[in-house]
Structure 1
Amino acid sequence: MNYKLIAIDLDGTLYNDNIMITPKTIDALMKAQDMGIRIAISSGRPLPGLFHARDTLKLQEHHGMLVSYNGGKVVDTTTHEVLYENTIPVDLCIEILEHIKKYPVHPMIDDGEVMYVEDKSAYRVHEEHTNNSMDCVEVPSLIDFLDYPLVKILTSIDPVKLPEVIKVIGEPFKGKVDFIQTAPFYIEAVPVGISKASGLSKICEKLDIAPDQIIAFGDAANDLEMVKFAGHGVAMGNACPELKECADEIALTNNEDGIAHTLNQLIFS
């Protein structure tokens, strides 16, 4: 197969457990780009959270793509063109923020540059704004503060409580907003139909690439659609069971250069 695009999740996939891209993985992805294969980093993170990986892999020199917010915003790293963006209207965001007060979650919102919260000391807030290289500002009320549409509303929650909460938290908004789990401690509200696969489809339209010309790597439940969408879907060795069940291949883990090993077998051999 003549593969033209490699789509890669960030946390737990491209990054090892130390939040680093290993030298072997960097070498493999640089080699792929030198062959003319595009790279798309596809993550639930906001756009600034993808910049470190973008720079490490020199995507701007190779027209790499960034699929941020779980597919809610897609950007060409070289031209800075926004290929796609979908947001939740302000009034609906406010309804959601009011509704989720009933649950043991801590909401976080951002404007693409700064993250806003009601409590800087809340669970996972420090990790979230630090990992995404964003300033964090505390406001008395997100509801009173918000005056712009959001690509997503992120909430953190005790992992023990998440399985029960995610079953019911989105009930009033069915057909308007999807509530998805993106980590053992994160629930996100995103526009209906948004996924990493929908983000990739916008790239395919722009670059005239067929889905069967894509290799996709992931590890979590929010990678399911992307892995199914791609011609060759790869679940990392550390992936969740659901992803492993639907993948075409199970690679080595993110700590064992799983991406590099698969590309060596699939493209370079």
Structure 2
Amino acid sequence: MAIKLVLSDIDGTLLPRGNAEVDRRVVEAFHALLDAGLAVGPASGRALPAILPAFAGDEACAATALATNGMQVYTAGKLVHEEHLDREGLVQLAAAVREVPRAGMICFKGAEVFLVEGERDVLAPIFPSYAAHVTPVDAVPDFPVVKANVFVDADVQGTQALMERLEAVLPRLGLNTPMAGFMNVVPVGYSKATGIDIICRELDVSLDEVVVFGDADNDLEMLEHVPNSVAVANATPRAAAAARWHIGSVDEFAVPKAMMAIEAGEAESHDGYSGGEVAVYCIMPSAAASGCGLEAGARPLKTVRFAWRAFGLWRLRAPLDFSRNLEAPGDVCSHGDQGAAQYIIQPIALPPS
């Protein structure tokens, strides 16, 4: 089935942590899909005023968008759905955060950021762009709040522990974490997957016609919900496990490469085998050091058949004890369970593209 809608998380998926703008290759890939007649856009925890600067103000890249973890849905540049956070729940959350050392809470009104609890200096290293423009306030604002976040000076485990502690006292609000020290606040049961269902109805697109890219735990529901879900190599273990496909890292510009493969018509997945075979050779460390050439004494490991080709990648089918996407025959991949050993894929007969 042809792909009609492509959505991608931003931070850690399109945009390396610490960068302000996506690489030009991301913008070019978005426009290539748009020119091919596909809908494409971000699926981000950011609100739209924080999404646009990441694309250097290119509004076409966010005309279709799931903003604020799907709580704001845009099509053709227009807001078509918006959820609000329960104010009583936010007041309860602020009171609970107040008791946690080096933690805080922020709320948003458009591009304005309000510091409800905590210190700017704690927020700054976690999310510098928010800290740079935050305004301290004495209480939860009385305007309808779409976006709120909790921050804490903690590692991934500490963030997860605080999230579970807060959720235990919040009957009306849920939390998810896109990165260490930072949590998104959502209505209970709401996620990016909820927003995807809404945008699919708006665009008359089925889930089988959607591709999503993600890297973090706030992408879990989205990756589990959409059949053609893709995780980058730097994804969290939970996000990687939730995704059907796995590509390179954000630093390797893997998502724009995959988007260009979609534009080229290489994204249709196939059940079963495609009809080709490959030999997989085990390359030991000495051979890897010399460039992984087969002349370095590689020995055949086993022969397997291709399962499918999608997003420009060949996917190997089990029962290999490693399952890894390779961009092309001849590429090398590592497998952690095999220590320093590496593997190279050598074609016997390639299936048709």
* TM-score interval, normalised by the smaller of the two chains: 0.7 to 0.9
Q: Secondary structure at the match of 1:261?
A: helix
Query: Aligned in 2, Cα 1:76/1:53: closer, same or farther, shift over 3 Å?
Result: farther
Shift of 1:9: 0.3
CA contact (8 A) 1:213 1:230 kept: no
For 1:260 and 1:166, how far apart are their aligned partners in 2?
A: 32
Question: What is the CA deviation profile of residues 134-166 of structure 1, one whole-angstrom value per residue up to 9, with x for unaligned ones?
Answer: 842122x124xx212322331111223323212
Query: Aligned in 2, Cα 1:127/1:187: closer, same or farther, shift over 3 Å?
Result: closer
RMSD over aligned CA atoms reads: 2.3
What is the aligned partner in structure 2 of residue 156 from structure 1? 151
What is the aligned partner in structure 1 of residue 41 from structure 2? 40
For 2:229 and 2:47, how far apart are their aligned partners in 1?
A: 24
Q: Is 1:124 equivalent to 2:120 in the alignment?
A: no
Shift of 1:59: 1.4
CA contact (8 A) 2:22 2:55 kept: no
Q: Is 1:69 equivalent to 2:65 in the alignment?
A: no
Shift of 1:170: 1.3
Query: Aligned in 2, Cα 1:64/1:152: closer, same or farther, shift over 3 Å?
Result: closer
* Candidates 239, 250, 253, aligned match of 2:249: 253
Shift of 1:254: 0.7
Identity of aligned residues (%): 23
CA contact (8 A) 1:103 1:169 kept: no
For 1:125 and 1:254, how far apart are their aligned partners in 2?
A: 23
One-letter amino acid of the counterpart of residue 2, structure 2: N
Question: What is the CA deviation profile of residues 92-111 of structure 1, one whole-angstrom value per residue up to 9, with x for unaligned ones?
Answer: 32222122222232111111
Q: What TM-score does the superposition give when structure 2 sets the normalisation length?
A: 0.67
One-letter amino acid of the counterpart of residue 158, structure 1: D
Q: Is 1:14 equivalent to 2:11 in the alignment?
A: no
For 2:26 and 2:94, how far apart are their aligned partners in 1?
A: 40
CA contact (8 A) 2:4 2:38 kept: yes
* Candidates 163, 169, 192, aligned match of 2:166: 169
What is the aligned partner in structure 1 of residue 52 from structure 2? 51
CA contact (8 A) 2:212 2:230 kept: yes
One-letter amino acid of the counterpart of residue 35, structure 2: D
Q: What are structure 2's unaligned runs of at least 5 residues? A: 267-353
1:72-91 equivalences under 5 Å are 72-76=71-75, 78=77, 80=78, 82-91=79-88
CA contact (8 A) 2:159 2:181 kept: yes
What is the aligned partner in structure 2 of residue 102 from structure 1? 99
Query: Aligned in 2, Cα 1:152/1:21: closer, same or farther, shift over 3 Å?
Result: closer
Query: Aligned in 2, Cα 1:30/1:24: closer, same or farther, shift over 3 Å?
Result: same
For 2:23 and 2:108, how far apart are their aligned partners in 1?
A: 29
What is the aligned partner in structure 1 of residue 232 from structure 2? 236
* Candidates 217, 222, 227, aligned match of 2:223: 227
One-letter amino acid of the counterpart of residue 95, structure 2: E
CA contact (8 A) 2:213 2:231 kept: yes
Q: Secondary structure at the match of 1:14?
A: coil
Shift of 1:251: 0.9
One-letter amino acid of the counterpart of residue 136, structure 1: V
Question: What is the CA deviation profile of residues 25-55 of structure 1, one whole-angstrom value per residue up to 9, with x for unaligned ones?
Answer: 3222211110011112111112211112455
Shift of 1:234: 0.4
Q: Which has the higher strand share?
A: 2
Q: What TM-score does the superposition give when structure 1 sets the normalisation length?
A: 0.87
Question: What is the CA deviation profile of residues 76-102 of structure 1, one whole-angstrom value per residue up to 9, with x for unaligned ones?
Answer: 353x3x211111232332222122222
What is the aligned partner in structure 1 of residue 311 from structure 2? none
Q: Secondary structure at the match of 2:149?
A: strand
One-letter amino acid of the counterpart of residue 240, structure 2: K
One-letter amino acid of the counterpart of residue 9, structure 1: D
What is the aligned partner in structure 2 of residue 180 from structure 1? 176
Q: Secondary structure at the match of 2:121?
A: coil
Greater length-normalized contact order (CA 8 Å, ≥ 6 residues apart): 1
Q: What are structure 1's unaligned runs of at least 5 residues? A: none
What is the aligned partner in structure 2 of residue 136 from structure 1? 134
